[in-house]
Amino acid sequence: MQDWLTMTAADLGRGIAAGEIDPLALCNAYLDAIEAHPLRDRIYARVTADRARAEAAAASARAQARQRLSLLDGVPVSWKDLFDTAGVGTEAGSKLLEGRVPDRDALVLQNATAMGLVCLGKVHMSELAFSGLGYNPSTATPPCVNDPDAVSGGSSSGSAVSVARGLAAASIGSDTGGSVRIPAAWNDIVGFKPTHGRLSLEGVVPLALKFDAVGPLCRSVEDAALVTAILGGGKAPDLSGATLKDRRFAIVTTAFLDDLRDAPKAAFEHSVAALTDAGAQIDRIEVPAVTDALDVSGCLLTSEAYGLWRDVIEAHPSKMYSEILARFRLGQEHSGPDYVAAWAKLEAARVAYDRATAGYDAVLAPTAPILPPKLERLKSDHDYYINENLLTLRNTRIANLLGLCALTLPTGTPSCGLMMIGAPDQDSALLRLGAAAEKLLR
């Protein structure tokens, strides 16, 4: 039974289908593990045990009747605390939303429930999803699975840690500038950011709607493909036979490789060598459009975030963590014309980037240029907090800005991920490449 807590979601689903795993027993195994875990309250904001057992019992009955709804019918997952859950607090990691209880599930949660996924509960996150570090003094800070003194990455911090520590078979997070991929990379799991707009944001507490994306954090690329399909009400791509032989990849040297620290740099070069040995063709290219996109990111992200949250924030600013409050208030510095001009520049950058990378199957990059920072220093050193947060999100937010899909894979080096970035709406093709790369890197 202990093995259940480390199996992929897909393997759990196959075990249920074969009659080897009972969904209710599986659910109870996860609930017992959560309850007994010493970090329970730093990972889970709220455990929905009654809902989970009821959903698992229904899945068990369907399995016995051979009427399963999907391969993952009966598999327990966690949800970032910004997905509306009927009758259960959804507070997005902020005292500003304390006591907020929605009356219906987010659409992606409705889709998941309709396909038999079991809701274990809501996990902690960075306040209002506006930090890549995962430090949240307002609620809780889940620690990195590789270093108890370091942060786990954000904003989907609890999502990553719940999966990495065997307290959920998969988790659903959100990614505005890297909030799925950073915690996934730092906790040695798979994180997928679909193309913006592929999955519904209905019932999801927003940060910046033009960049927000729902995405899974999982133990395998197969799990990521299956969960994404379920959330969108679609069909998962066939990953069988995926290969890297003769596939063309680009390493964009513009910005992505700047200020790399030793471990991420070594892990990246090792991964590139492994892909090359497998027959992949890899070129290094300059793409100035990446710099153009980064130049306008501050204006676009902070303007939209502050525009959405200004009235709520300014009614009770003392309830917020000061670093997050200051980041939101950066949106005050930009005018309407600034915002329009920034969007025009970004649209041009998207066209230029697409042209520069059109001949490649995907772009490769280190997911994060740094390792998880130590929590105590983040608490006491303002300049360090600002620098590490911006550097943490530098590589991942490029994909959000340019409207791309992106996947992070564990490299075998703790807390170092390999990011594969695909063209808009090429999600299935990217997942196939990821499945092939995963076999090498594991």
Q: What is the per-residue pLDDT for 442?
A: 83
Q: Which of 60, 80, 138, 303 is catalytic?
A: 80
The string of pLDDT tens digits covering residues 298-313 is 999 999 999 999 999 9
Are β-strands 248-252 and 362-366 bridged in parallel, bridged antiparallel, or unpaired? parallel
Q: Which of 78, 126, 138, 155 is catalytic?
A: 155
Between CA 279 and CA 270 the distance in angstroms is 15
- Structure-block tokens of residue 249: 């990849």
Q: What is the per-residue pLDDT for 198?
A: 98
Domain spans of the chain, in order of start = 2-232, 248-291+332-441
The string of pLDDT tens digits covering residues 277-295 is 999 999 999 999 999 999 9
CA angle 370, 374, 375 (to 5 degrees): 130
The CATH superfamily holding the domain 248-291+332-441 is Amidase signature (AS) domain (3.90.1300.10)
Asked if residue 211 has pLDDT above 90, the reply is: yes
> What are the Cα distances from residue 274, in Å, to 281, 404, 418?
11, 24, 12
Asked if residue 201 has pLDDT above 70, the reply is: yes
pLDDT band at 379 (very low <50, low <70, confident <90, very high): very high
Class of domain 2-232: alpha beta
CA-based nearest residue to 135, from 368, 375, 383: 375
Between CA 120 and CA 28 the distance in angstroms is 10
Q: What is the per-residue pLDDT for 395?
A: 98
Between CA 228 and CA 236 the distance in angstroms is 8
Between CA 438 and CA 372 the distance in angstroms is 22
Q: Which of 60, 126, 156, 179 is catalytic?
A: 179
Q: Catalytic site residue 319? A: no
The string of pLDDT tens digits covering residues 152-197 is 999 999 999 999 999 999 999 999 999 999 999 999 999 999 999 9
3-state secondary structure of 79: strand
Asked if residue 132 has pLDDT above 90, the reply is: yes
Q: Catalytic site residue 155? A: yes
Between CA 345 and CA 364 the distance in angstroms is 24
Identical fold at 2-232 and 248-291+332-441? yes
Between CA 390 and CA 97 the distance in angstroms is 26
List of E strands, 246-349: 248-252, 281-285
139 Cβ contact partners less than 8 Å away, ≥ 6 residues apart: 45, 91, 93, 94, 95, 124, 127
76 Cβ contact partners less than 8 Å away, ≥ 6 residues apart: 26, 27, 30, 52, 56, 117, 118, 119, 120, 168, 169
Strand partners, 421: 363, 406
CA-based nearest residue to 125, from 97, 147, 101, 105: 97
Peptide bond into 152 cis (omega under 30): no
Asked if residue 66 has pLDDT above 90, the reply is: yes
Radius of gyration of the chain (CA): 20
Residue 434: phi and psi, rounded to 5, are -65, -40
pLDDT band at 97 (very low <50, low <70, confident <90, very high): very high
67-100 residues labelled b (16+ CB within 10 A) or e (exposed): ebbbbbbbbbbbbbbbbbbeebebbbbbebbeee
Between CA 426 and CA 440 the distance in angstroms is 22
Question: Contact, 301 vs 177, CB < 8 A?
Answer: yes
Element (H, E) at 301: helix 289-315
**Tokens 């975030």 sit on residue:** 305
Between CA 35 and CA 258 the distance in angstroms is 43
The string of pLDDT tens digits covering residues 256-274 is 999 999 999 999 999 999 9
Q: What is the per-residue pLDDT for 2?
A: 59
Q: Catalytic site residue 80? A: yes
Asked if residue 1 has pLDDT above 80, the reply is: no
Q: What is the per-residue pLDDT for 357?
A: 98
pLDDT band at 140 (very low <50, low <70, confident <90, very high): very high
Question: Contact, 20 vs 3, CB < 8 A?
Answer: no
For residue 309, how many other CB atoms are within 10 A of its CB? 21
Between CA 435 and CA 428 the distance in angstroms is 11
Are β-strands 76-80 and 118-123 bridged in parallel, bridged antiparallel, or unpaired? parallel
